[in-house]
Structure 1
Amino acid sequence: MSKWLVSLLPFLSWFKLVNKETLKADLIAGLTGAVVVLPQGVAFATIAGLPPEYGLYTAMVAPIIAALFGSSYHLVSGPTTAISIVVFSTISRHVDPGSPEFVSMALTLTFLAGVYQFAFGLARFGVLVNFVSHTVVIGFTAGAAILIATSQLKHISGIFIPKGESFLHTWVDLFQGFGNLDMALLVIALSTLLSAILFKKFWPKSPNLLIGMVIGSVLAFYLSRFQLASDIPLVGEIPAHLPPLSTPDFSFSTISSLASEAFAIALLGLIEAVSISRAVATKSNQRISANQEFVGQGMSNMFGSFFSSYAGSGSFTRSGINYESGAKTPLSAIFAALFLMVIVLLIAPLTAYLPIAAMGGVILLVAYNLVDVHHIAQIFKYSKSETSILITTFLATLFLELEFAIYLGVLLSLVLFLAKTSTPRIPTLSIDSIDSEGSRSFLNVSKKPLKQCPQLRIIRVDMSIYFGSINHIQKKIEKISDGQNIHHILIVASGINFIDLSGMEALISENNRLKRKGGGLYFVGLKAPVYQFLAQAHFIKNIGRANFFDSKQLAINTIYTRLNRDVCSQCDVKIFNECQ
């Protein structure tokens, strides 16, 4: 089977693993996943401002395409909380939630996000996900959890809140309307919430969200029957059919108004999918291709937009349950989608009895589970820089436009990465011992008080030299040259994986400055690929081939001949063999 064919149809690589045992395991895992996603799909569509059935349509279509064209054996795609609230925030600024125009724009947004993701995959941009800090994702999801919970308070309290209210204004309206609290709706929501929590605690493998919704619906039925409550709003009957064909709005005005928001959703979806697939892969010992995941997520969103599905991504809950249920291949995600189709056809009419307050209780629990308390506590305890990033992303999610919060989070990740790599460790080394064969052992002088040569300073750069780090490295060289009056500097380059053009120019400048003072810049232990690249860029020629060495012994032996003999004659350090 050719690599080209496998890259085009990645499911061919795992389809050969399917046998009787894997089919049985995947069927069981798929059935479990279908039961789990049923209440989640309805809840997530509600968060997104869409009719409930659109969450189920997404859970039917997205997993199949993502499983066929992704790389993870256990990732289950579909509607997610974070993307749902970004969809709601984005489109509710243009049209009323739940309206046909809202649905049409949501499908267009989904298609555009898929195009971005697919293009990123083809361009091999999978490595970019590595530069988005996990702290940013934690901060964003925590903020999204607060927004999701806030959006449901009007449904469980009965307090009127105008559409489109901001986070702060919503809480002001709740406080002012507290006297109009509907106790019946509150009881239904809390009963749903508590029953779901208790079933999860005492029967972990039970479909706790589904059970909670059933209990809330039964309670609402009896409250209405015995006239203990009146006018309890219901979700309404979900159409008992498979995802219908749909057509996104491809008008220029719609595309131009949604292009930037679609880019934010594409980024968020990719971060979620790749992070989740890698987390599960650490347990299953599977290798994940980020680029292939980009392609899979992009195709699922593009294809899904024509089958009444809105933007989705990988689900941590469903993917974790899929793995724990014993899934062996991506067929489990496909089976989950197929089982969900059967379940919807059978029980969809029952949603007519589902109270919106019960749905609100379920969504409150979903929002709570989004907050990663453990990692937040660790961040606050161990890292001040990441704590500031967490707080900034969290507050931006609450008080700014959600797509801007995503961009800000990505920008903060890049700033954090550049900040860490722009100040590489540059320890000063000296000779610790010389064995019988003349081999020299270098040791960091901060670990042991070693004598140092008054004319030669040995340093090690523990990171690549590029435009972001060169200023820090230049300051170190200047400090040695100007502050210590030492103009011969040997760089142990075994930790350098790359030197860019800016780094080359700066090092050439430093070498020329040291040469004017009778010294020079020397390198030992450069990796072969780095040396080859530097040679092609004429860096070796500009510095001088005589300043590059394969061994420390050869480097010291050569540099010694260039030292000032008058200084050597009065030196009492004599740490090199050549000094004796």
Structure 2
Amino acid sequence: MTSKISQTNTHSSFWPLLFPFLSWIGSLNAKTVRADLLAGITGAIIVLPQGVAYALIAGLPPEYGLYAAITPAIIAALFGSSWHLISGPTVAMSIVIFSTISPLAETGSEHFIKLTLTLTFLAGIIQFALGLARMGTLVNFVSHSVVVGFTAGAAIIIAVSQLKNVFGVTIPAGESFLHTLVVLAKELPQTNFYVLSIALSTFLVSFLFKRYLPRWPGMLFAMIGGSLLALFFGAEEHHVKLVGSLPASLPPLSLPEFSMNSLRTLAPGALALALLGLVEAVSIARAVATRSRQLIDGNQEFIGQGLSNLIGAFFSSYAASGSFTRTGVNYEAGAKTPLAAVFAAISLALVLLLIAPLTAYVPIPSMAGILLLVAYNLIDFHHIKKILQASQSETGVLLITFLATLFLELEFAIYVGVILSLMIYLNRTSKPRLVSLAPDPDDANHRLINIEKKPLAECPQCKIMRVDGSLFFGAVNYTAKKFQEIKEPHLLIIGSAINFIDVAGAETLVHEAERRLELQGGLYFTGLKASVNKILQRGGYIHHLNSDWLFETKSEAIQGVFNRLDKNRCRTCTARIFHECQSIKPIS
């Protein structure tokens, strides 16, 4: 009987693990389905102008931005863990794709599309593999400053790249950030004011909607307004370029290019794209989860994002990730389950079939105006200000990532930011805080307190210190140096804040214990955690540290250390900070 129950439980936990949507599909009812349907339709309206705009950023035909919001959105919803995350094309992913593929193929060409799908496939494989390897915590090592700096840099690149469409001048594609500005300055006298007025009016309408009617599809109305203005001016007569009609079809089947040369060339960009996509998706999922009180499984999100890109590459979808705008709208619109993302994708597919030909009247300057607003909104002025005020090291990471984004290849800018974040993290963890403690005479129990908070007398023979941090190979040199600076022969370490110790850390403690014995003193411990004790026991270090000098409580430790002090020095001591000191008669 027991084995049958166990087997049933195993099966019931196995299938939701393999198919995560089974964990929520049973909770659907008429009310939740209705709420998800309304949220999905709202999301489809929002993504229509965004998808077209993001595809242009990526250097792809506009319909590919909509394709990327259909298949990946469904797969990510079914195999992710978030109730509200909406996946699809994003600005950051689009610009990394453009910077990676544009040196290899002509923008918008068949070869460009083929390489983009291959890049998407590779990124999906990396994300899926990281999910299977339970590496969901990786995103924690990409600091917020890196994301803010990268996004701000990407925003400026987007804005600069669209200035030719705002002013109606000719600037060669694929030029650097600075070169584009130089050419633009030379071309400004050739500005097409019909183009400029359409771009600025679209920008202004989008801005006003976002400011005063944020829940309305402002971008869509702005595009319609820009199209009417272009029609009024006479677009062709005044050299106003149009987007052109989109094919009224569902995402066609596609096949990435699997040649070894392509895979080798695209691998570095795929890694950067994969990491950026995961950081975006998990960060957005966690942000909305704090409002919906949901627990996010980072590993499952990795798998969901990986599958969405891996499968999407065979359905003409370029690399997708979590969208902050559409996820926020989805939550505010009342979505209850991931079914809302599925409804959004299906609604978009229907819209694509019905109104795709109307995009023939959308002017390129209107898209440029929308992209200027998108770029402006990407710059997180609030957090930039907070970072500049709060931390010099984080400010350095922010500025270096920002400048690297402007002047290096985007994938390398991400690597630079991640490496800087890791360097700061390792620098902090390699210097555990050593806190000097002393008994508080004003406290009835003579509790040990930090002498930096309250200046107190210390025993001239024994230093009491709490180690706040782990003793591992990266921290041993710093810790050993600090220990050697302590002049008192006896050292009592409060180990309650030592979370981890490795072989290098254990050997450092052994060497310090031996050194203090030579100084006629000793190294003592109290409050060590079970995990730390286990390492010391297994490695045999406990014998070198002298098990008699390991104490359970602070009072036992102080008593034990006091018994080993030089009593002749105690008689001349005026500090007398321990209760036990009262038993020593001073020399009169």
Where 2:523 maps in the other structure, the secondary structure is strand
Q: Is the 8 A contact 2:44 2:345 kept in 1?
A: yes
Q: CA 1:167/1:572 → structure 2, altered by over 3 Å: closer, same or farther?
A: same
Counterparts in 2 of 1:107-186, with a 5 A limit?
A: 107-186=117-196
Amino acid at match of 2:20: P
Partner Cα separation in structure 2 for residue 116 and residue 541 of structure 1? 46
How far apart are the structure 1 equivalents of 2:385 and 2:227? 37
> Which residue does 1:563 correspond to in 2?
565
After superposing the two structures, state which structure 1 stretch, 98-107 or 157-166, moved more.
Answer: 157-166
Q: Residues 534 and 289 from structure 1, CA distance in 2 versus in 1: closer, same or farther, beyond 3 angstroms?
A: farther
Which amino acid in 2 is paired with 1:508? V
Match of 1:57 in 2: 67
Q: Which residue of 2 aligns with 1:577?
A: 579
State the distance in 1 between where 2:302 and 2:13 align.
18
Residue aligning to 2:498? 496
Instruction: Provide the secondary structure at the position in 2 that maps to 1:59.
Output: coil
Shift of 1:17: 2.1
Task: Give yes or no for contact 1:157–1:186 (8 Å, CA) kept in 2.
Answer: yes
Q: CA deviation at 1:429?
A: 0.3
- The CA distance in 2 between the partners of 1:536 and 1:327, in whole Å, is 53
> Is contact 1:71-1:288 (8 Å) kept?
yes
Write the distance in 2 (CA, Å) between the matches of 1:542 and 1:553.
23
Q: Cα distance, 1:207 vs. partner?
A: 0.3
Q: Is the 8 A contact 1:155 1:185 kept in 2?
A: yes
The question of whether the paired residues in 2 share the 8 Å contact of 1:63 and 1:77 is answered with yes
Opposite residue 134 of structure 1, the aligned amino acid is: H
Structure 1 stretch displaced more, 81-90 or 155-164: 155-164
Superimposed CA distance per residue, residues 72-107 of structure 1 (whole angstroms, 9 cap, x where no aligned partner) = 111111100001000000000111110000000000
Report the Cα distance in structure 1 between the residues aligned to 2:120 and 2:427, rounded to whole angstroms: 34
Query: Do residues 448 (structure 1) and 454 (structure 2) align?
Result: yes
Give distance in 1, aligned partners of 2:399 and 2:119: 29
For residue 421 of structure 1, report the CA deviation from its aligned partner. 2.0
Quick one: which amino acid aligns to residue 258 of structure 2? F
Task: Look up the SS of the partner of 2:468 in the other structure.
Answer: coil
Supply the RMSD in Å over aligned alpha carbons.
Answer: 1.4
Which structure 2 segments of 5+ residues have no match? 1-10, 584-588
Any residues of structure 2 matched to 1:248-327 within 5 Å, and which? Answer: 248-327=256-335
**Residue identity in the other structure for 2:293:** N
Contact 2:502 2:535 in 1 (8 A): no
Residue 226 of structure 2 is aligned to residue 216 of structure 1:
yes
Residue identity opposite 1:570 in structure 2: T
How far apart, CA to CA, are the structure 2 residues paired with 1:536 and 1:112?
43
Superposition deviation, residue 25 in structure 1: 1.2
Q: Which amino acid in the other structure matches residue 559 of structure 1? A: V
Does the Cα contact within 8 Å between 2:123 and 2:270 map onto a contact in 1? yes
**1:195 corresponding residue in structure 2:** 205
Secondary structure of 2:70 counterpart:
helix
- Give me the whole-angstrom Cα distance separating, in 2, the residues matched to 1:95 and 1:301: 21
Whether contact under 8 Å (1:14, 1:329) holds in the other structure is yes
% identical equivalent positions: 56
Residues 93, 273 of structure 2: 8 Å contact kept: yes
C-alpha distance 351-435 of structure 1, shift in aligned 2 (>3 A): closer
Please tell me whether residue 479 in structure 1 is matched to residue 485 in structure 2.
yes
Please state whether the residue corresponding to 1:523 is helix, strand or coil. strand
In 2, the alpha carbon distance for the partners of 1:338 and 1:542 equals 69
Deviation at 1:136, TM superposition (A): 0.6
CA contact (8 A) 1:560 1:578 kept: yes
**1:538-558 residue CA offsets vs partner (Å, 9 max, x unmatched):** 332332212221101111111
The partner residue of 1:458 within 453, 464, 470 is 464
Partner of 1:353: 361
Deviations 1:514-544 (A, max 9, x none): 1221222211111222222332233323322
Counterparts of 1:541 and 1:185 in 2: how far apart (Å)?
82
- Which residue is equivalent to 1:533? 535
The partner residue of 1:328 within 320, 326, 336 is 336
Mean CA deviation greater in 442-451 or 500-509: 500-509
Q: Normalising by the residue count of structure 2, what TM-score does the alignment of the two structures yield?
A: 0.95
Instruction: Give the aligned partner of residue 411 of structure 2.
Output: 403
CA contact (8 A) 2:388 2:395 kept: yes
Q: Is the 8 A contact 1:440 1:552 kept in 2?
A: no
Cα distance, 1:2–1:487 mapped onto 2, change above 3 Å: farther
Kindly provide the CA deviation profile for residues 366-418 of structure 1, in whole angstroms up to 9, marking residues without a partner as x.
11110001111111122221111111100000000111000001001111212
Partner of 2:493, secondary structure, is strand
**Offset at residue 435 of structure 1 (A):** 7.4
Q: Is the Cα contact below 8 Å between 1:278 and 1:288 reproduced in 2? A: yes
What SS class does the counterpart of residue 427 from structure 1 fall into? strand
Structure 1 range deviating more: 422-431 or 81-90:
422-431
Equivalent residue number for residue 366 of structure 1: 374
Displacement of 1:434 in angstroms is 8.8
Distance 2:73 2:533 in 1: 47
Counterpart-to-counterpart distance in 1, 2:38 and 2:498: 50
CA distance in 1, matches of 2:400, 2:210: 33
Task: Identify the residue that residue 82 of structure 1 maps to in structure 2.
Answer: 92
SS of match in other structure, 2:472: coil
Contact kept in structure 1, 2:253 and 2:314, CA below 8 Å: yes
- Alignment CA distance shift 1:42-1:16 (3 Å): same
**Aligned equivalent of 1:470:** 476
Total equivalences in the alignment = 572
Native 8 Å contact 1:511 1:520 kept in 2: yes
Other-structure match for 1:233 = 241
Note closer, same or farther for the CA distance 1:422–1:28 as it changes in structure 2 (3 Å cut): same
Q: Quick check: 2:215–2:329 contact (8 Å CA) kept in 1? A: no
Aligned-partner Cα distance in 2 for 1:193–1:340: 24
Separation (CA, whole Å) in 2 of partners of 1:146 and 1:233: 23
**Partner residue in 2 for 1:20:** 30
1: CA distance between counterparts of 2:291 and 2:316?
Answer: 34
**What is the aligned partner in structure 1 of residue 586 from structure 2?**
none
Residues 537 and 129 of structure 1: CA distance in aligned 2, closer, same or farther (over 3 Å): farther
SS at match of 2:565: coil
Using the TM superposition, give the Cα deviation of residue 440 of structure 1 relative to its aligned residue in structure 2, in angstroms: 4.5
